[in-house]
Copies of this chain bind each other. A is one copy, B any other.
Amino acid sequence: MATLRIPDVVPSPTEDSETLMKSFKVLWLCVGLGTNEKSVISVLGHRNASQRKKIRETYQQLYNKSLIDDINSELSGDFRKAVILWTYEPSERDARLANGALKSRKKTITQLQVIVEIACASSPDHLVAVRQAYCGLFNRSLEEDITANVPMPIQKILIGLVRSYRYDKELVDPSTANEEAAILREAIRTKQLDHDNFLFILSTRNSNQLRATFECYKQNYGLSIDQDIKSCGKGLLESILKVVIWCIDSPEKHFAEVVRASIVGFGTDEDSLTRAIVTRAEVDMMKVRGEYIIANKTSLDNAVIDDTSGDYRKFLMTLLGAKV
């Protein structure tokens, strides 16, 4: 369900590193700029996470330089940001995204949803790797930075979520789903969205179990839980919880919405657009595309083409599986 396209015959990490170094060298000589950015895209835009890791390591061994540093000094603008995010180890990428969200001046849903995505739309082992990477990079734990930067009650919810380890078992317990739908309903009815029981269910149960609980909720109370949460208010807390529900229930629906929100109206929120495509291109971007068409009656690819340009557009389209 990924859109990332990997060639049948993949060059060795040494060959890829040499291609990248050559393209940077030509950039240094100011010759044929376009061509060289194209070769950066044609190498990195067609390699999966473990292949990119090998390229990073090989590049470092061959040239005693960091590939990320070279990308940083050779490319520019949104294209650079996108290539760097794509080149990081995914756990480091997400730790940096979370840190960026926490250090941003404004803490709107656009920023804070990044943390929810990491906690609720990733595998438990990836979330743990992000927490480990965060400590290594910033010399503080992710939870400590949430506490220092996010006010209650959203702080409590985010901390509960990032501490989760949702073991992804297939088996679902229908009676638990029914009981816990009632607990969620009671918290929403009494507008206690940061209640311990409410938070415990959302931050402990695995995704399959929670999907069954959300289905019970709809059947028993006539409204989907995310619609019902709206009845509590239209503040940041309710927006965060809507993202939590969507990231657990249908991450592809959430990321289709992130893309839509990033391009709607005047201007484009390139950071959100980049994040959605970079983080999902090798996960479920094919499904995100499907959800996008259902919700917007137009294709995600066309939306990206309309709102971006140059190498940035080419890179995103490459990750979306286009031949550019």
Contacts and interface: CB of A to CB of B under 8 A. Distances in A.
Interface of A: 124-125, 128, 131-132, 135, 139-144, 147, 156, 159, 163-167, 169, 171, 196, 200, 204-206
Contacts of A196: 156
Contacts of A165: 128, 131-132, 135, 141-143, 163
A283 to B, nearest CB: 21
A204 B143 contact: yes
Stoichiometry, copies per complex: 2
Contacts of A124: 132, 135
Nearest to A196: B156
A100 B24 CA distance: 58
Contact of A200 (B128, B135, B147): B147
Nearest to A153: B196
Given A135-B169, A141-B165, 8 more contacts: A124-B135, A128-B165, A139-B167, A140-B167, A141-B206, A144-B205, A156-B196, A163-B165
A139 to B, nearest CB: 6
Given A135-B165, A165-B131, A204 B144 contact: yes
The 7 A-B residue pairs with the shortest CB-CB distance in the complex, in nearest-first order: A135-B167, A163-B163, A141-B167, A131-B165, A143-B204, A128-B128, A139-B169
A159 B200 CA distance: 10
A252 to B, nearest CB: 25
Residue of A156, A163, A166 with highest tally of chain B CB at under 10 A: A163
Nearest to A209: B144
Nearest to A135: B167
A179 to B, nearest CB: 12
B147 A204 contact: yes
A204 B167 contact: no
16 contacts: A124-B135, A125-B132, A128-B165, A135-B165, A135-B167, A135-B169, A140-B169, A141-B165, A141-B167, A141-B204, A143-B165, A143-B204, A144-B204, A147-B200, A156-B196, A159-B204
A322 to B, nearest CB: 38
Contacts of A156: 196
A106 to B, nearest CB: 25
Residue of A147, A165, A200, A206 with highest tally of chain B CB at under 10 A: A165
Contacts of A125: 132
A124 B140 CA distance: 13
Contacts of A205: 144
A273 B159 CA distance: 36
Nearest to A169: B139
A89 B165 CA distance: 20
A135 B165 CA distance: 9
A131 B200 CA distance: 17
A163 B164 CA distance: 7
Given A147-B200, A164-B163, A171 B128 contact: no
Contacts of A167: 135, 139-141
